[in-house]
Structure 1
Amino acid sequence: MQAFSQVLGAEVPWIEWPLSPNLVPDTPVILDLLEFCAGAAGEPIQGAYHSYYRHHHLSWDRDAGLARFVADVNLLFRRNAVAYELTATGQARRLLPQAIANTIGWALFQTGDAETDRLLEAARQRFVSPMPEDRQDALEKLWDAFERLKTLEPGVNKRAQADALLDRVAPRGSGFREALGREAVELTSIGNSFRIRHSETTQEALTSLDQVDYLFTRMFAFVRVILKGTGRGG
């Protein structure tokens, strides 16, 4: 117990141990504690009985113990309608609405540009994180990927390249092409007006994670249409 407390204090210093019955830690702290425990979870396997010392030999099954720990925690999450889960490796992640989870989980990134693919994959992984700062970072990386997407087509400047990109998704002059153009302008304006990619004093900060989630899903939907329409995944 003493060793557990000391190591926990080193790795998760913002938690009070033993836990107070009157003070509930913040959700990210609880998830840090669960991940810490998952990192050491295992199942003792009782072996042959040693008659002289009157005890059983024990072996240690890491995989079985971790699986049981994850299952027990996830059962508590489900029964209490908590929108998080532990993965099979013991990492905490938040549960998304099914439609969003399917879209994000099955998207492919094959833009032909390694940095754009890296930004999109990093955004996807961080968006499911339970940590608020990771979700903000996911939004930033998604906006960075959007700006790089604008430059993947040939053209004399970024505006021409962006137009060529949208022209591959829908015929120029069509209603959908016009809608895509308006949305691209609006998303660019949002990126310049809010504190997403830059931190100038003139930019407005996002004040809730709901705002972060809304902007992420809106941008991701747009990017996915572009990827699918240009044969770059999606």
Structure 2
Amino acid sequence: MLGAEVPWIEWPLSAGEVPDTPVILDLLEFCAKAVGEPIQGAYHSFHRHHHLSWNRDAGLARFVGDVNLLLRRNAVAYELTAAGQARRLLPEAIANTIFGALFQTGDAETDRFLEAARQRFLSPKPEDRQDALEKLWDAFERLKTLEPGANKRVQADALLDHVAPPGSGFRKALGREASELTTIGNSLRIRHSETTQEALTSLDQIDYLFTRMFAFVRVILKGTGRGG
């Protein structure tokens, strides 16, 4: 079963070669799906053994606790959730912003993009974090069209006018940031894959762009009464 679900891991494990971190986390998730706590019951004198029962929740909680203790002691920025799923740990300020955000845009598709972006951003897998960035930019583009207006530009301006008074310094700053984020999405390989677009080359770049866009989107959500 392990070979089928995690084919990129060597089994039995090699004593001389350490798998990549995402592969180790896949192995931990695989184990977490199977663990449980054996509960010793009454003694059966004829067969000379105890009856055993199986407590899935207690075993999973113990396994998650043991794994997370090892990760913390070795300063590894990942953890298993109570359900046994691996996720990376974020700086506290960023984690509070992302975990605490509410998505109530009134548009189910926009909410879906935002929630998918949040969940994938926590994944230890690089491809999931790239996908998180794409979902967040998709949500940004949909947000621009939620206000009434004759076209997308008018709708986007109306959206920002709800966040800050027209003509104010902060409103102008929001306009510049929205324009810059749009340019980034069109010039870098985030939502599209044309040969003219520049690929992101590191996870640090993905993290930077995600947190920058998420902060902007959250301000828009709070300023227009759509969550945040």
1:215 shift after superposition: 0.1
Runs ≥4 residues deviating over 4 A: none
Among 9, 28, 39, the alignment partner of 1:34 is: 28
User: Is 1:163–2:157 an aligned residue pair?
Assistant: yes
1:48 shift after superposition: 1.2
User: Is 1:87–2:105 an aligned residue pair?
Assistant: no
**Over aligned residues, Cα RMSD in angstroms?**
0.6
Among 153, 156, 172, the alignment partner of 2:147 is: 153
1:18 shift after superposition: 1.2
What does 1:54-93 correspond to in 2, within 5 Å? Answer: 54-93=48-87
Identity of aligned residues (%): 88
The count of aligned residue pairs is 228
TM-score norm. by structure 2 comes to 0.99
1:201 shift after superposition: 0.1
Counterpart amino acid of 2:208?
Answer: Y
Task: Provide, for residues 20-68 of structure 1, a one-character-per-residue CA deviation record: whole Å limited to 9, x for no partner.
Answer: 1110001110000000000000011111111221111111111100000
What does 1:167-186 correspond to in 2, within 5 Å? Answer: 167-186=161-180
1:222 paired residue number: 216
What does 1:180-219 correspond to in 2, within 5 Å? Answer: 180-219=174-213
Larger mean Cα displacement after TM superposition, 78-87 or 42-51: 42-51
Counterpart amino acid of 1:163?
Answer: D
Name the CA distance, whole Å, in 2 between partners of 1:54 and 1:162: 76
Alignment partner of 1:218: what SS? Answer: helix
Name the CA distance, whole Å, in 2 between partners of 1:115 and 1:20: 45
Name the CA distance, whole Å, in 2 between partners of 1:47 and 1:165: 64
1:45 paired residue number: 39
Counterpart amino acid of 2:8?
Answer: W
1:137 paired residue number: 131
Task: Provide, for residues 2-33 of structure 1, a one-character-per-residue CA deviation record: whole Å limited to 9, x for no partner.
Answer: xxxxx111111110011111100011100000
Task: Provide, for residues 161-194 of structure 1, a one-character-per-residue CA deviation record: whole Å limited to 9, x for no partner.
Answer: 1111111100111100010000000000000010
Alignment partner of 1:135: what SS? Answer: helix
User: Is 1:125–2:119 an aligned residue pair?
Assistant: yes
